[in-house]
Structure 1
Amino acid sequence: MQKKIPMRKCVGCGEMKEKKELIRVIKTPEDEILLDTTGRANGRGAYICCNAECLKKAVKNRGLERSLKSHIPTDVLERMEKELG
């Protein structure tokens, strides 16, 4: 029997991809916005492709803000852009 592969939707481009191909962005219970590289951290999560282009789209269409149900500060977005390269 084949194991089920978890699929997630990128909030930038809207494509369904395997969970391990995407990066998880979380809002912690303390209202911090972080990149969750382990995929296991506590908090509300949104998934995004591993490129800066999708991050820009997610910011433009407010997909990230909608998914995390909060405003995302500019400094946090800049830090995430650097991390995605």
Structure 2
Amino acid sequence: MKKRKVPMRKNILTNEMEPKRLLVRIVKNKEGEVALDPTGKKPGRGAYVGLDPAAVKQAAANKTLERVLETELSAEFYQQLYDYVDHQKARLDLFGELGKKH
């Protein structure tokens, strides 16, 4: 059986290429609204963040996402992102690689 190509995306917090399924997409739409995109299908400019809660806290302190997305982000958005990343990391640690088929 032929191996499938694993889609890779750049983690904007570490500048490293990682498998897409191990990243969280953040999207900015035409109206300038920023939201989490768990499905990866919302229209707009996307940026990818890894499943590292400490890196998200650091990004909030350095305003990394604000520079990348060129918009102001609220503390509530950073908290929502932190909670989501923390939850996904816990799932990954508990169940192993997300979406992996045996």
Superposition map of 1:1-85 within 5 A:
2-85=3-86
Sequence identity percentage: 34
Question: Deviation above 4 Å: which 4+ runs of structure 1?
Answer: none
Letter in 1 for 2:52: N
**Rg larger for:** 2
Structure 2: stretches of 5+ with no match in the other structure: 87-102
Higher helix share: 2
The DSSP-based 3-state class of the residue aligned with 1:64 is helix
Q: Deviations over 1:63-83 (max 9, x none)?
A: 312221212111211222222
Structure 1: stretches of 5+ with no match in the other structure: none
Question: TM-score, length-normalised on structure 2?
Answer: 0.69
> For the Cα contact (< 8 Å) 1:22–1:50, is it kept in 2?
yes
Which deviates the most, 51-60 or 24-33? 51-60
The DSSP-based 3-state class of the residue aligned with 1:56 is helix
Counterpart-to-counterpart distance in 2, 1:62 and 1:48? 13
